[in-house]
A = this chain, B = another copy of it.
Amino acid sequence: MVTIYDIAEKAQVSAMTVSRVINNTGRISEKTRTKVRRVMEELGYVPNQLARSLVLQQTNLLFLMITDITNPFYTTLARGAEDAAKKHGYRLLFGNTDENLDKEQDYIDAILKTRADGVLLAPAGDASLPHLETLRKHGVPFVLLDREVPGVESDVVLGDSKEGARQLVKHLVAGGHREIAMINGSRSISSARDRLAGYLEALKLNDLSFAEERVLEMSFGPRSDLSEIDAWLDWMHPLPTAIVAGNNVLAVEAIRSLQARGLRVPEDVSLVCFDELASYAEIDPFLTVISQQAYQFGYLGMQMLLDRIQTREEPGPWRKVVLPAELIVRRSVRALNR
């Protein structure tokens, strides 16, 4: 491996001079600068980031933890985060937790060991609390995405989940629906909780009664196993005329389960959900959704993280950004005759 000492020797200068040329620090005569540059070129020198980071106590490395790498919401978010990080000269490490606390724990350990300069993460859920406390304790700045964690003060970028759910229900009610069910992520995830709250509130607002059995809570993540939804649909009597899905993945699963029993959307059951379905939406925009600004989640979150890192000495107050939710009406809701 070529080191600055190899360069120094061949260029007849000290290692320090080489270091200065590399980092453009201090004053160097144009002559030695070009000489050093030429030798570096000749030897194919590449700075050792490990050594730099060790002495500088800064790695220039950021970490993005998401809960589902196959979900277009998160890949779009990742693009935003990546763009913002690159813009400021930071490298970005991705991790995928599948909403699994053990995987999250593994990544937290890796982050600590790697000495990443900061973390951007969608926490697995409220139970991520100890993980965040670990980060805080070790002085690693972090910004939460899409989900808050009770007991943790931090910067956070959220979507307006409650309002989104309200709009979804309102839209269904306007279509004449009164028996509205919800399939949602776990209550231990703040966004799922907010969506449930918005749903309940909107029911009340419209004088609709709430039935416990009408709400199914499961994981936001992708599974191939539809049995939970199947059992739920079997159990409900009568079937609701409409379903609100807590996210895009659940919407797809719901449609599959409905299809399996010969029910079509929207002819037999109407369906609305949070987040777009990527390519599906482009070919055949079909689902009525609450569209969230996925790219902005990542971009703004990253900016807040970088800001936090740069103002480490004089930290400002925690910031909470709530991105608006937009209802996009398409064809997955049938207007009932009244």
Which A residues contact B (CB, under 8 angstroms)?
Answer: 1, 44, 46-51, 53-54, 57, 59, 69-70, 72, 75-76, 78-79, 82, 86, 91, 93-94, 96, 106, 109-110, 112-115, 137-138, 248-249, 252, 255-256, 259, 277-280, 282-283
Contact = CB atoms under 8 A, between A and B. Distances in A.
B278 A49 contact: no
Contacts of A137: 44
Copies in the complex: 2
A256 B282 contact: yes
A25 to B, nearest CB: 18
Contacts of A59: 50
A96 B82 contact: yes
Contacts of A106: 86
A102 B137 CA distance: 39
15 contacts: A44-B137, A48-B113, A48-B115, A69-B75, A69-B79, A70-B72, A70-B76, A72-B278, A72-B279, A78-B96, A93-B93, A256-B283, A278-B278, A279-B279, A279-B280
Contacts of A249: 279
The 4 closest A-B pairs by CB, nearest first: A280-B280, A49-B113, A94-B94, A46-B112
A114 B282 CA distance: 39
A218 to B, nearest CB: 17
From A57, A79, A280, residue with most partner B Cβ within 10 Å: A280
Contacts of A109: 46
Contacts of A1: 57
Given A54-B50, A70-B79, A96-B79, A279 B248 contact: yes
A278 B112 contact: no
A49 B114 contact: yes
A105 to B, nearest CB: 13
